[in-house]
Structure 1
Amino acid sequence: MRIIGGENRGLTLASVGKGDPGAHLRPTTDRVRESIFNMLLGGRYGDPVTGARVLDLFAGTGALGLEALSRGAASAVFIDSGRPAQKLLRENIAKTGRQDQSACLSVDIRRLPPAPAPAELIFLDPPYGAGLGPSALAAAQAGGWIALGALILCEEAEVVTPPGGLTLLDTRRYGDTVLTVLRAEG
């Protein structure tokens, strides 16, 4: 697993290999991450990355948020309650040298504390089939984590049904991964 583009392009990240089912760690493959960022920066959504505050929910290794930082995001908050994930997050943030732009929270995503500032770009990659996506999005909305107009990318085994206030923009399938793109509306 490596950073695909930007300042940290080619940097190899600490990895869990094929994943850690016990810890619900299933890293986004390089191919899917590259497709995500090609879609994000392909013009359809403007440039939602440069200067953005990023929220990486169910962050795991942090690869999505770190990719965004490498490509010009201003800051990222990584949230994952698992111990293995927290260890990998800290290691990967250090490898990329992004400590000053990053914060890690080890909390249950359904019980988020109030946000220090809302994020304009949100990645959501819950354990597949657990049904945690909509409740995590609702908690993020309630805690002020999602900015008006924010772009949200949900990685799941199926299309994520958006809670109120979020509009479905697109869905794409990559093998067993379905990417759902949402926008926060007023």
Structure 2
Amino acid sequence: MTRIVAGTAGGRRLKVPPKGTRPTSERVREALFSSLESIVDLDGARVLDLYAGSGALGFEALSRGAGHATFVESDRRAAEVLQANARELGFGNTTIAHRTAAAYVAGEGGEFDVVFADPPYAVGDDELAEVLRGIAPRLAADAVLIVERASRSGEPAWPEEVESLRAKRYGDTAVYWGQVRSDG
């Protein structure tokens, strides 16, 4: 069972796609958001949830005050689950893009304050680096990027506009933090 940890929807359950996704655990989300809220004011933030799956990260951000979340998911069934979760939670401030992360970042779009990228473990380093480079021009000043990967994968290759902030391991999961450089 996957639930929202805190905020206006705290304790509410999320539907999870039947297969092909691995929602971020409550323990990791709780730690991640505790750290995130010490860096960024989520109130009104524009959030991008790449490789969204059930949308646990984006919905957690909305529950904690984000102004809008865009969910990008290539799997049709997962995109349908995202729609159902948004409806069930009463979050109308969402956009759901049914396409690959690479296709999404190559297109036109708005600016983001927080980006979550939780790719399937099968996504390679080069593919992830390309997606992160693609989103870099759409990052707000001081935007934060959070990448969740298998611990064995190592830190992602950040775009030149982004500096590494920290890394934290939670068993088989590692969370990597980057932030737009203040000098560029």
After TM superposition, the score normalised by the length of structure 2 is 0.89
Supply the AA of the counterpart residue of 2:108: P
Shift of 1:39: 1.2
2:82–2:96: 8 Å Cα contact kept in structure 1? Answer: yes
8 Å contact kept, 1:48–1:151: no
How far apart are the structure 1 equivalents of 2:163 and 2:122?
A: 22
**Partner residue of 1:139?**
134
Report the residue type matching 1:167 in the other structure.
Answer: E
The 8 Å contact of residues 86 and 106 in structure 1, kept in 2 or not, is answered as yes
Query: What stretches of structure 2 of length at least 5 have no aligned partner?
Result: none
Q: Given residue 133 of structure 2, which amino acid in structure 1 is its aligned partner?
A: A
| C-alpha deviation, 1:182, in angstroms | 0.3
- Give the SS at the match of 2:74: coil
- Identify unmatched segments of 5+ residues in structure 1: none
Return the match for 1:153 from 146, 158, 179: 146
Q: Check whether the contact 1:150–1:184 (CA below 8 A) recurs between aligned residues.
A: yes
Does the 8 A contact of 1:133 with 1:160 survive in 2?
yes
Total equivalences in the alignment: 174
Partner of 2:103: 111
Task: Note the 1:1-186 alignment, pairs <5 A.
Answer: 1-16=2-17, 20=19, 23=20, 25-41=21-37, 43=38, 45=39, 47-99=40-92, 101-112=93-104, 113-115=107-109, 117-131=110-124, 132-141=127-136, 144-157=137-150, 158-185=154-181, 186=184
What secondary structure does 1:7 align onto? coil
In structure 1, give the amino acid aligned to 2:103: R
Letter paired with 2:53:
G
Moved more, 52-61 or 122-131: 122-131
Q: Report SS of the residue matched to 2:108.
A: coil
- Following superposition, the deviation at residue 129 of structure 1 comes to 4.2
Distance 1:13 1:87 in 2: 13
Distance 1:16 1:79 in 2: 14
Query: Percent of aligned positions with the same letter in both sequences?
Result: 35
Aligned partner letter, 1:85: A
Contact 1:48 1:120 (C-alpha < 8 Å) held by counterparts: no
Q: TM-score, normalised by structure 1?
A: 0.88
Cα separation, 1, equivalents of 2:72 and 2:122: 19
The structure richer in helix per residue is 2
Structure 1 residue 38, shift from structure 2 partner: 1.2
Displacement after TM superposition at 1:92 (Å)? 0.8
Moved more, 125-134 or 167-176: 125-134
Deviations along 1:15-61, one digit per CA (max 9) or x if unpaired, are: 247xx2xx3x11111111111111112x3x1x331210000011111
